[in-house]
Amino acid sequence: MRRQHLRAKVRQNPQQRALRQRQNGQRILHPPWRLRMRARRKRG
């Protein structure tokens, strides 16, 4: 359930992702959703 929700969120904001990619120029090593996943893993 949680994974599906995250995927839906990513699909909802495709424009935001494009803007960020333009700013960083394909240099996105640690996107925000990965940091969130890490925090959840630490808690779990």
Collapsed DSSP state (helix, strand, coil) of residue 41? helix
Joined tokens for residue 37:
């996943």
With 60 as the cut, is the pLDDT of residue 1 above it?
no
Radius of gyration, alpha carbons of the chain: 12
Joined tokens for residue 34:
């990965």
Cα dihedral: 7, 29, 18, 11 (round 10): 0
Domain borders along the chain are 2-43
This prediction's pTM: 0.19
With 60 as the cut, is the pLDDT of residue 27 above it?
no
Q: pLDDT of 2-24, one tens digit each?
A: 566 656 665 666 666 666 666 65
